[in-house]
Amino acid sequence: MERSRVALVGCGRWGRLIARDLTDLGALVTVVDPSDAAGAFASATGLDQLASTVGLAGLDLDGAVVATPASTHATTLFDLADLGVPVFCEKPLTVDVGEAEQVVDLYGDRLHVMHVWRYHRGVELLGELARSGELGAVQGVRTTRTNWTSPRTDVDSIWTLVPHDLTIGIEVLGTIPPPRAALAEMIDGRAVSLWAHLGGGGEPWLVVEASTRSAERRREVRVHGSLATATLADDGSNTVVIAAGSELDPRLRSISFDPDPPLRRELAAWLDFITGGDPPKSDGAEGLEVVRHIAQLRTLAGLDPFSS
């Protein structure tokens, strides 16, 4: 079978993981990144390197992956549009609603967004449980995403963390509920934490805690149903724990799931798509919806909706 040729635009810490998985999945990868670190990585791994997207016009590409800093996504996507190939863009799609709308209009069905938590087996299991009725009527979802600082400095913690939580809402609830309230923690004029309430009023809610000011690294998703709760903790156990009953001690049941790496799964889905398969889960319209919701949450928290 002929191998897909893919351009990887941006080869930083996360981009190198993308390059690894694309290569392992059989793609021929050309790195587009002018940095010395990217050049050293490309040389060590046997990949071609270009300093800019200009050189891509002469390649017979099947697709491109954008893993540049979030603040440059829009510019990068505009630069790649004339190639006419499918593009898989890291989250968030952009950090401005107007730019996101332009990008979606420009690309149509060629654009998909790397909402990696929608490919987490545990999150998929939570969605299946929510739809099965085993938990009763779904009341809402609570997500916790905390750690100390972030290597991403071009945008603040809201743009870095909250897209994950909103797309978990899509995977479990089928939608992102409308924003109701938000509170931001600020350090030196920049948001480092967000507490957000979406939905409610008779419809399932989504409550988000996202912070880079916690000494404890924690990732947890809990689905609240009228009969039981289901909790996914990123503790290495690869299990979802269901708690039920009205006694002082809950009845607990653990369900194991396959720990397939979510990044590898979403890249495999996209590579299948560019060779004629079904599209990945998250299209450009979903990416735009996430950007719109983050802008609304920022406004509710008293922040500039597009400030990074």
Neighbours of 135 (CB within 10 A): 22
Nearest-angstrom CA–CA distance, 252 and 243: 5
pLDDT by residue (tens digit) across 167-188? 999 999 999 999 999 999 999 9
Domains and CATH numbers, the chain: 5-116+264-283 (3.40.50.720), 117-261+293-300 (3.30.360.10)
pLDDT at 234: 85
pLDDT at 1: 62
pLDDT at 235: 87
Whether 308 shows a pLDDT value over 70: the answer reads: no
Answer whether 137's CB lies under 8 Å from 90's CB. Answer: no
pLDDT at 2: 83
The per-residue b/e assignment along 264-281, b for 16 or more CB within 10 angstroms, e otherwise, is: bbbbbbbbebbeeeeebb
Tell me the two tokens of residue 157.
């913690």
Closest CA to 286 of 159, 115, 72: 115
Per-residue DSSP letters for 199-259?
EETTEEEEEEEEESEEEEEEEEEEEEESSEEEEEE-SSS-EEEEEE-SSSS-EEEEEE---
pLDDT by residue (tens digit) across 135-152? 999 999 999 999 999 998
Q: What percentage of the chain has pLDDT greater than the value 70?
A: 99
| Gyration radius from the chain CA atoms | 20
